């Protein structure tokens, strides 16, 4: 997945791949209590945890794995793609950006269930690099 906070990444993944195993840095922040408790100091640890979970799922041979992170820059998702290819998986990037329509940062913040501010979404938008057409997900 690739998209701004509040763009509908999780909803899209659940609709198109309801039986997939989902790995996400967001899951790290709810794993102890079941309640989402974001701590920006732990973001690096959360992403490392997410990558380890992804590798474990590849190693297990899990059929469909969705990486449900913002992945606003290429380097953020590129290692997932390289690892998937190494394990023989077909992969693609579902680029949500701010679908289903061109929403404002404030509208995206209102839609976001994790409390991401419109200012943080504006920073995501500034650094956003879309996947190339040949890298996009195709059913």
Domain definitions of the chain by residue range: 2-135
pLDDT at residue 32 in the model: 72
CATH class of 2-135: alpha beta
Q: Could you identify the residue written with the tokens 């309640």?
A: 35
Q: Which residues pair with 21 in a beta bridge?
A: 65
Q: For 16-64, how does the pLDDT look when each residue is reduced to its tens digit (9 = 90+)? A: 999 999 999 999 998 777 788 888 899 999 999 999 999 999 999 999 9
Q: What is the pLDDT of residue 104?
A: 92
Q: What is the pLDDT of residue 132?
A: 94
Residues 15-20: contacts with CB under 8 Å, at least 24 apart: 16/94, 16/139, 17/64, 17/66, 19/63, 19/64, 20/63, 20/64, 20/65, 20/66
Distance between CA atoms of residues 131 and 128, nearest Å = 10
Specify the pairing of strand 95-97 against strand 2-3: parallel
8 A C-beta contact, residue 96 and residue 132: no
């Amino acid at each position: 997945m690739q998209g701004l906070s509040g763009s509908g990444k999780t909803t899209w993944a659940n609709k198109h791949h309801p039986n997939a195993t989902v790995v996400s840095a967001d899951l790290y922040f709810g794993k102890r209590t079941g309640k989402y408790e974001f701590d920006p100091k732990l973001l690096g640890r959360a992403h490392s945890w997410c990558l380890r979970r992804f590798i474990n799922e590849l190693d297990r041979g899990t059929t469909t794995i969705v990486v449900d992170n913002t992945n606003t820059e290429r380097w953020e998702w590129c290692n997932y793609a390289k690892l998937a290819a190494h394990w023989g998986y077909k992969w693609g990037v579902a680029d949500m950006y701010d679908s289903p329509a061109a929403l404002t940062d404030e509208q995206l913040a209102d839609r976001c269930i994790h409390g991401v501010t419109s200012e943080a979404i504006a920073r995501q938008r500034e650094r956003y690099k879309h996947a190339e057409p040949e890298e996009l997900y195709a059913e």
